[in-house]
Amino acid sequence: MTNPLRGGAGVFSGRPMVRMLTCRFFRTGAEVKSLLLAVGWLMAVLACSVSICVAFVWIRPSFTAPWARGPMIELVTTPATPTPPPAERIPWVRFAFDRTRANRLYAAGSVSDDQGRTWRPLESDGVRVDALSGALAPPPLPGPNGRLLVAGVQIERPGVAGSLAAEWRDGGWVPFGLRTNLPVRALGYTTDGTAFVATEREVLTSDGRSWATPGRLVVALVSQAGAIYAAIDEEGRFGLYRAEAFGAPWLPVAGAGKVDLLADVAGTILVTRGRRVGLLDQGQWSWSDLPTNEQPLGLTVHPMRPLVAVWSESRLLTSADGGRQFRSSPLGYKVGWAAWDPFAADTLTLVEPSGGAYRVSIQDMP
């Protein structure tokens, strides 16, 4: 009898065992090779995906900053920003164009004669105004005969107490009213040239008169016809009011509702209410929806043409027909303030809160 432990034809014979183990080894090796090949392909796919993600992140700013590469909106960056000189203690202020002299801009108590490239303070005998809250105050308001009305400033003159506003006239600064804790909501000139400053609760004139507002004031303006409009908003009460002249009774304007922004467009009163725009013409309202899902943040009107611009968080809305139809254009930056150039046909100057300035022609917008 053959001993299976010593070889032979038994189940545990040596040669068959070797052949069996050899076949199993090569079969396992093929499987390992297949596994390694699959892992290699997977690593290649992962490496390619990572490269694509890195490339997308690297070029992403070109999509979010259209003005950097010839963009969705035709923008031309000015060499400097329409802000006061670095000595001012505010990062940026609202500005206004002079309506009688081309290329002149005002910001707080400073003036530029080259569209914001260089600035100089308005001062006389060393007396100037120091900006305190220009980013929150209404924009400067150029008036008749070279006058300029500003709020959010303080006159740097010994013996002069803090004032609500100041007026540049006859070559010097004149304080306007006593400073209070109430913010200035509006500046204006009546048709006879009287300057006024409106707080939330009171309207003051440069000749010392005062007049109570019809409620907590949001914004006010003098229309081209000489009437004064005031939008109020307080708990349980809001709306638009009208007075024929300074000191006249305030009368509610029916159909206005809550008013956020207010302007006069070539004799027609324009308001925004949420994402709706209303036009008041000869006592009749017409309403339409703005082409945006964002809340409007600001409104500016051309002084001589029926051009309107409204801006929101990421879009600029422009109208060439006085606010009846608007075109929506995307923005790659946030707008802090904007104003139409009165000496240009359709050019709008936009300023970022951080200071970057852009001039935009609405004809070039998408």
pLDDT tens sequence across 179-189 = 777 788 999 99
Three-class SS string for 125-185? CCECEEECCCCCCCCCEECHHHCEEEECEEECCCCCCCEEEEEEECCEEEEEEECCCCCEE
pLDDT tens digits, 57-97: 343 333 232 332 223 233 333 333 333 333 232 335 688 99
Q: β-strands 217-222, 261-265: how paired?
A: unpaired
Instruction: Tell me the per-residue pLDDT of 227-259, one tens digit each, with 9 for 90 and over.
Output: 999 999 988 788 999 999 999 999 999 999 999
pLDDT at 90 (0 to 100): 30
Q: What is the pLDDT of residue 29?
A: 55
- The pLDDT assigned to 36 comes to 63
Between the alpha carbon of residue 323 and those of residues 33, 153, 221, 270, 316, the distances in Å are 73, 33, 18, 7, 13
For 136-164, what is each residue's pLDDT tens digit? 678 899 999 999 999 887 776 666 656 77
Token look-up 């209410």 returns 273
